[in-house]
Every structure is written in C-alpha cells, then in structure tokens.
C-alpha cells in the first residue's frame, strides 16, 4: 500500500464495529482518503537503524499517514507497538501511542489526572483481601464500586454493598492475576453521567446518559438512555484539560457530580460516538476524519 497523498489510517481490530462502518461511510460520502486496517496484519521491523512497518511485504509510507487509533484499554501489546513504530517512522497519530500505553491501566490514568490537578473519584487499587477494611474506610465506607483495571462500555463495573462482594471479586481476580480498582460510591453518578467528546482541544458535543430500569450503570451500551445537554463553562474547561493531560486529539471524557463538584470519572482514548451522532444528528465520523487529515 504505497500512498502518494495524506491518508487517514484507522487502526482497529473490530472492522465490523459502528465506528469502523461510519468512518468508511463518511470517507466515501465526502471523498476523503481512508484505509481501515487491523494492526495485527502489519509486520514490524527495526532494520538498518530505522523503524519500518510493512503490509503484505511492502513498506508503508508512514509520513503520509494520519492515524486514527481505535485501540481502547484492552488493546494488545502488538497493536500498540504497531502504532508506536508507525509514529517512529513518521506517521502522525490523532492520539499518541505514549498516551494509550499510559491509559491502559485505569488507576494509573486516574493518578495522572489527579497529579495534573484534575478532580477524580477517590480510588484505590489492591489485591490482598486482608487490606479491605482500611481501604473501604478511607473511601467512605460501603457501598463501593469495583472496576476491572481494563474494560469498556460499562463492562466489569460492580456495585459492592458489603465486604462479602468485595472479597469474592478480589479472590476471583487474584486467581487470574488481574487487578481491581475500588472507588467511592457516588449516588448521583450511579444513575447518570455526562460524556463529552473533545476533538482538537475543543469540547464539541456532550450527552447526558441516564441508567435505564433502575440499573446501576448509565452507559448507553448497558441499557442507558441519552439526551443532549448544554455544558456549563467549568465542565467544558474540565473536559478539555482532562484530554490535554494525555495529549489526546480525540477523547471521550466522562464527568460525574459529587458533593464537592464535578469529577472526571474516566478519559477514553477510543470513544464511541454512536450516541452523540444519534442525539445531536451530526456526522462525527466525518468531523474526526477532517481533523485528522488537516494535521
């Protein structure tokens, strides 16, 4: 695939996902150059002192690529290595590989946000069940929320009303060498949150997501409902700052309300945008492609 002009390269392992379909559709409609590629199909080399990425035996002209990585917290090491080598070979990425590596662990990502002065939920990461009591006490007591260190679309989020649930989850996760994030329970956040899509350092669209049928999580993919929302200035500034901590050109920033004010629950480097397109009737895919190609 020798490319003579800047081309948007969407790196994704899910070619049948909504975002992949929309990128292809938007590129065709607006005559924008686009390639959709599974990073596992790439061959990675370091030869003669240079990084090189090849497909089907031919080296890619990385300098002409504008990469849109659709690689979330569960991305493989190979996928992230492919992105990093593309960058080393001259490709420009909407979201840098360094950020994706840093954000794979939700606790480390929260720590980075906190270090930058961004308010985040009170959180802890632990393995040993014997440490539960003092941790829960510091987080304000039961109930608490348990999260898998890597997860998306609300999967792996558990409401824990007592020590029995926490102990059971920790023991199960320890068996498979998996860490668990423990967070203070915020009642308002259990029912609703706000997703802000930040593109190019600007908070472009926002939706309020409300849990459906009394469910614990508000994520749209877990049965929630969504509607458009106008953000106050402080929410806009907070979302933009959070995305900036990781130097993300595209980010989904989840905000929740707490007794002390707004908190950044999570920053997603590969945010879904189906809800935003539906609620705002906007072609988000085309906007992302145009921004990536303009860089």
| CATH code assigned at 166 | 3.30.1490.20
Q: What span, in angstroms and rounded, lies between the C-alpha atoms of 172 and 15?
A: 32
For residue range 104-141, what is the model confidence (pLDDT) as tens digits? 999 999 999 999 999 999 999 877 666 688 899 999 99
Whether 66 maps to a domain, the answer reads yes
Whether 45 maps to a domain, the answer reads yes
Residue with tokens 């990585």: 69
DSSP, collapsed to helix, strand or coil, labels residue 57 as coil
The closest of 33, 35, 36 to 6, measured between CA atoms, is 33
* Shared domain check, 225 and 279: yes
For residue 227, the surrounding DSSP H or E stretch is: strand 225-228
pLDDT the model gives residue 1: 46
The closest of 111, 83, 116, 79 to 97, measured between CA atoms, is 83
Point out the least confidently predicted range of 112-121, 167-176, 186-195, 259-268: 167-176
Whether 275 maps to a domain, the answer reads yes
pLDDT the model gives residue 122: 97
* Shared domain check, 197 and 288: yes
pLDDT the model gives residue 294: 92
For residue range 62-84, what is the model confidence (pLDDT) as tens digits? 999 999 999 987 889 999 999 99
Q: Is the pTM of this model over 0.85?
A: yes
> Into how many domains does the chain fold?
3
């Amino acid at each position: 695939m020798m490319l003579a002009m800047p081309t948007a390269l969407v790196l994704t392992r899910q070619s049948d996902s909504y975002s992949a379909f929309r990128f292809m559709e938007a590129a065709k409609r607006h005559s924008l150059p686009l390639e959709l590629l599974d990073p596992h199909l790439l061959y990675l080399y370091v030869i003669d002192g240079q990084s090189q990425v090849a497909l089907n035996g031919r080296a890619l002209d990385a300098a002409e690529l504008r990469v849109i990585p659709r690689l979330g917290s569960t991305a493989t090491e190979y996928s992230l290595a492919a992105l990093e080598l593309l960058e080393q070979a001259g490709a420009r990425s909407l979201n840098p590989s360094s950020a994706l590596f840093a954000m794979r662990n939700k606790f480390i990502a929260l720590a980075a946000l906190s270090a930058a002065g961004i308010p985040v939920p009170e959180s802890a990461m632990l393995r040993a069940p014997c440490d539960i009591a003092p941790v829960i006490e510091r987080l304000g007591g039961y109930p608490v929320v348990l999260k898998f260190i890597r997860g998306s679309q609300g999967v792996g989020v558990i409401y824990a009303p007592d020590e029995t649930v926490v102990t059971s989850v920790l023991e199960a996760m320890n068996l498979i060498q998996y860490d668990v994030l423990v967070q203070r329970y915020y009642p308002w956040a259990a029912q609703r949150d706000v997703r802000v899509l930040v593109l190019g350092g600007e908070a472009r669209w926002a939706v309020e997501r409300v849990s459906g049928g009394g469910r614990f999580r508000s994520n749209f993919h877990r049965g929630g409902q969504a509607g458009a929302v106008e953000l106050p200035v402080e929410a806009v500034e907070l979302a933009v700052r959070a995305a900036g901590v990781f130097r993300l050109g595209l980010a989904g920033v989840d905000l929740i309300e707490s007794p002390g004010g707004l908190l950044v629950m999570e920053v997603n480097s590969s945010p879904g945008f189906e809800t935003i397109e539906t609620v705002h009737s906007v072609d988000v895919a085309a906007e992302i492609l145009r921004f990536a190609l303009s860089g």
